[in-house]
Amino acid sequence: MSKFIFVTGGVVSSLGKGISGSSIAKLLQLRGFKVNMIKCDPYINVDPGTLSPYQHGEVFVTADGAEADLDLGTYERFIDVPMTKRNTNTAGLVYQAVIERERRGEYNGVTVQVIPHVTNEIKQRFIPFENDFDITIIEIGGTVGDIESLPFLEAARQFRTEKGRQNVMTVHATLLPYIASADELKTKPTQHSVNKLREIGIEPDVLICRTEHPISQSMKNKLSLFCSVEPEAVIEARDVPSIYQLPEKFEEQGLTDLIIKRLDLKPKTKNDGSWFKFINKATSLKKQITVAIAGKYAELPDAYKSVAESLRLAGMSNQVAVKVKYVNTQKDDMKVALKDVAAVVVPGGFGKRGISGKIEAIKYAREHKLPFLGICLGMQCCVIETARNLAKLQADSIEFDPSTDNPVITMMEEQKQVKNLGGTMRLGNYEATIKKGTLAYKLYKTTTIFERHRHRYEYNTQYVPLLEKHGLIVSAWHKGVLPEIVERHDHPYFIAGQFHPEFASRPQKPHPLFDGLIKAAKKFKKVK
């Protein structure tokens, strides 16, 4: 029998439910269990693919082509289980499925209602991993008390009755605000949010309390009394310098044993502590380098979450702490902004805003031999930069200038037919073949790779011979027709991909393109 852990959130959003859930998943994995994770987002968008990064941060792309919440990136990085379309749900997706079924006449004439039709659809989505995994952790997005998350919480309540109390538990993440004038942590908001949960029939088994200060035993007792959880199940989640340190903090407080006991599980292995050891070493490095991410959402780090994490993870495996500098390609002067960095990444993006700054950043990296990694739009800008500055063409992407004389970035026929914006890009894993003798081959050490894509436009192959004469070599192709990687051989590290390598980095397994970037960055600037 598979077990299920719901993670809910109270008091405020952005509590780190995803990180708490992922930490629990990691701890259970370290005891030998097969763990998978599911995210439920209560908004009406079918997926976050059409949402602005200002609203939602990064869109994470799964190997099978789902556009998903950035929490799925955290899940993958913590548990190294590939996320799929079945790991992500939104209210929009649920309602779409219910309405489509109704239109097909499959409800046999009954009135379609939130209970049971919507909740049944949601419950179906809790169990796709039931046969293949020992435990599924299901994070319900939003904050308890929101109107829109109610159907998900109601489904969770029903689910516990159906699956049995010993098979389902709830972990509630909450906040203990600190009032400086009273020098006190306050429990009242937590009490209220637990009451809200209980009103809808869910009793939390564990409280994960975000706090800036240690929680005293008497405070734990008080929370226990008012919220009906055992004092040992009140878990302190104080801010940690690195999110990867959180599992050990939970382990020290006995959370893994408590969950194992509560769900009547038998650990398959002992946690030998080696993962904690790696993390502790990798997060206490003295040497530091600064790497720039040059994009238009510089004031919004969540827009580049997986890129920044990939840089940090590559640093952890190369014994150097990576400080990320967010450079604004719309406002900053690249010559000034990139002067003191050891490498630069130009990440993916959409639309014309900030493009000239990205092209400036690439020119600066090319001319100053600054290690450079271009991602998706970053690769397209790299093609435009060579075309304009070396081949002296009036060149552009048709995304920015549909009537440009030289459309070095263009659109494939099938994309021209697309009418709807959502879910219609070239999405998910595509194969690429790497040429031997290239930097890409040196980094990947293989000729066949699969990488995740999310784009509509492509490098126009008509321009490949000319731009290769100017040093921009295509080192990987998809089926010999679509350029996948470009690189320069007159530069220590200048490489860009039409895909998103940032979604495939893990602790102890940095992505080859980021690993190479950090190795080159260490050489570029003598590490302090």
At 387 the three-state DSSP class reads: helix
Q: Which residue among the candidates 376, 381, 399, 453 is catalytic per the annotation?
A: 376
How many whole angstroms separate alpha carbon 410 and alpha carbon 396? 9
How many whole angstroms separate alpha carbon 238 and alpha carbon 290? 26
Tokens describing residue 165: 């109390």
Q: Which amino acid is at 233?
A: A
Binding site for ligand GLN (CB under 6 A): 348-350, 376-377, 399, 454-457
| Shortest Cβ 350–ligand GLN spacing (Å) | 4
By beta-carbon proximity to ligand GLN, the closer residue of 479 and 489 is 479
Q: Does 381 participate in catalysis according to the annotation?
A: no
How far is the first Cα of the chain from the last one, in angstroms, to the nearest whole number? 53
Position of minimal CB gap to ligand GLN = 348
| Shortest Cβ 420–ligand GLN spacing (Å) | 15
| Shortest Cβ 315–ligand GLN spacing (Å) | 23
Helices (H) and strands (E) in the chain, counts: 19, 23
E-assigned strand segments in 15-123: 35-41, 60-61, 67-68, 88-90
By beta-carbon proximity to ligand GLN, the closer residue of 185 and 293 is 293
| Shortest Cβ 193–ligand GLN spacing (Å) | 37
Q: Which residue among the candidates 309, 385, 399, 502 is catalytic per the annotation?
A: 502
By beta-carbon proximity to ligand GLN, the closer residue of 341 and 376 is 376
Burial 195-216 (b: 16+ CB within 10 A, else e): ebbeeeebbbbbbbbbbeeebe
C-alpha torsion sign, points 103, 109, 112, 116:
negative
| Shortest Cβ 455–ligand GLN spacing (Å) | 3
By beta-carbon proximity to ligand GLN, the closer residue of 211 and 330 is 330
By beta-carbon proximity to ligand GLN, the closer residue of 202 and 376 is 376
Place of tokens 């919220």: 227
Please name the residue ranges forming H helices in 130-273: 150-163, 188-199, 217-227, 246-252, 255-262
Q: Does 502 participate in catalysis according to the annotation?
A: yes
Nearest alpha carbon to residue 423 among 41, 57, 64: 64
By beta-carbon proximity to ligand GLN, the closer residue of 210 and 455 is 455
How many whole angstroms separate alpha carbon 491 and alpha carbon 363? 12
| Shortest Cβ 425–ligand GLN spacing (Å) | 6
Instruction: Enumerate the active-site residues.
Output: 376, 500, 502
